[in-house]
Chain A
Amino acid sequence: MEILVLVKRVPATDSQIKPAADGKSYDPAGLEFVLNPYDEHAVEEALKTKAAKEGTVTVLTVGGKEAQKDLRTCLAMGADKAVLLDPGQEFDGKSLSEALAAKVKELAPEIVFCGKQSVDNDDAQIGPRLAGLLAWSCLTDAASLEIGDGTWTGQRDIEGAKEVVEGKLPAVISCSKGLNEPRYPNLKGIMAAKKKPLEEGSAELGAPALTVIALTPPPARPEPTIVGEGPDAVDALMDKLKNEAKVL
Chain B
Amino acid sequence: MSRYTGVDFYNLDALFTEEELMVRDSIRQWVSDRFLPLVNEHYRAGTFPMELVPEMGELGIFGPTLPDYGGAGMNNLCYGLILQELERGDSGLRSFVSVQGSLCIYPIHAYGSEEQKEKYLPGMIAGKLIGCFGLTEPDFGSNPGGMITKAVDDGDSYILNGAKMWITNGGLCDLAVVWAKLDGRIRGFIVENGTDGFSTRDQHGKFSLRASVTSELILEDCRIPKSHILPQVEGLKGPLGCLTQARYGIAWGAIGAAQAVYHECLDYSLSRVQFSKPIAGYQLVQNKLVWMLNEITKAQFLCWRLGNMKDDGSMDFSQVSMAKRNNVWMALECARLGRDMLGANGVTDEYSVMRHMCNLESVITYEGTHDIHTLILGHKITGIPAYD
- A residues sitting closer than 8 Å to B (CB atoms) are 12, 14, 32, 69, 72-73, 76, 184-188, 190-191, 193-194
**Contact A187 B64, CB 8 Å, known A69-B18, A73-B22, A194-B19:** yes
Pick the residue among A69, A72, A186 that contacts B60 (CB under 8 A): A186
- Asked whether any CB of chain A lies closer than 8 Å to the CB of B61, the reply is yes
Closest to B22 in A: A190
Contacts of B5 in A (CB 8 A): 32
Pick the residue among B3, B61, B74, B82 that contacts A12 (CB under 8 A): B3
- Majority-rule SS of A interface residues: helix
Contacts of B64 in A (CB 8 A): 187
Closest to A15 in B: B3
- Asked whether any CB of chain A lies closer than 8 Å to the CB of B58, the reply is yes
Q: Closest Cβ of chain B: how far from A73's Cβ, in Å?
A: 6
**A186 CA to B54 CA in the complex, in Å?**
13
Contact with A along B67-82 (1 / 0, CB 8 A): 0000011100010001
Give 10 nearest A-B pairs by CB, closest first.
Answer: A187-B60, A187-B72, A185-B26, A188-B72, A186-B59, A186-B60, A184-B26, A184-B30, A187-B64, A190-B22
Contacts of B72 in A (CB 8 A): 186-188, 190-191
Q: Beyond A187-B61, A190-B23: 8 further Cβ-contacts under 8 Å?
A: A69-B18, A72-B22, A184-B30, A186-B72, A187-B59, A187-B78, A193-B19, A193-B22
Contacts of A188 in B (CB 8 A): 60, 72
**A12 CA to B2 CA in the complex, in Å?**
12
**A57 CA to B73 CA in the complex, in Å?**
25
Contact with A along B224-242 (1 / 0, CB 8 A): 0000000000000000000
Interface hub of B19, B26, B82 (most chain A Cβ within 10 A): B26
**A170 CA to B64 CA in the complex, in Å?**
40
**A28 CA to B241 CA in the complex, in Å?**
48
Contact with A along B1-44 (1 / 0, CB 8 A): 01101000000000000110011001001100000000000000
Q: Closest Cβ of chain A: how far from B16's Cβ, in Å?
A: 13
**Contact A187 B74, CB 8 Å, known A12-B3, A14-B3:** yes
Total inter-chain residue pairs, C-beta < 8 Å: 45
Closest to B2 in A: A14
Contacts of B30 in A (CB 8 A): 184
B3 pairs with A184, CB closer than 8 A: no
**A193 CA to B22 CA in the complex, in Å?**
11
Q: Closest Cβ of chain A: how far from B266's Cβ, in Å?
A: 15
Question: Can you name 17 A-B residue pairings with CB atoms under 8 Å?
Answer: A14-B3, A69-B18, A69-B22, A76-B22, A184-B29, A184-B30, A185-B22, A185-B26, A186-B26, A187-B59, A188-B60, A188-B72, A190-B19, A190-B72, A191-B73, A193-B19, A193-B22
Closest to B73 in A: A191
**A12 CA to B73 CA in the complex, in Å?**
31
Contacts of B18 in A (CB 8 A): 69, 72
Q: Closest Cβ of chain B: how far from A72's Cβ, in Å?
A: 7
**A72 CA to B59 CA in the complex, in Å?**
17
**A187 CA to B23 CA in the complex, in Å?**
7
**A186 CA to B18 CA in the complex, in Å?**
15
Closest to B34 in A: A184
Q: Closest Cβ of chain A: how far from B276's Cβ, in Å?
A: 16
B22 pairs with A186, CB closer than 8 A: no
Contacts of A184 in B (CB 8 A): 26, 29-30, 59
Q: Closest Cβ of chain A: how far from B214's Cβ, in Å?
A: 28
**A213 CA to B2 CA in the complex, in Å?**
32
Closest to B62 in A: A187
B74 pairs with A191, CB closer than 8 A: yes
Contacts of B74 in A (CB 8 A): 187, 191
Q: Closest Cβ of chain B: how far from A79's Cβ, in Å?
A: 14
**A191 CA to B19 CA in the complex, in Å?**
8
Q: Closest Cβ of chain B: how far from A22's Cβ, in Å?
A: 28
Contacts of A191 in B (CB 8 A): 19, 72-74
Q: Closest Cβ of chain B: how far from A70's Cβ, in Å?
A: 10
Q: Closest Cβ of chain A: how far from B83's Cβ, in Å?
A: 13
Pick the residue among B58, B73, B78 that contacts A186 (CB under 8 A): B58
Q: Closest Cβ of chain A: how far from B17's Cβ, in Å?
A: 9
**A89 CA to B22 CA in the complex, in Å?**
29
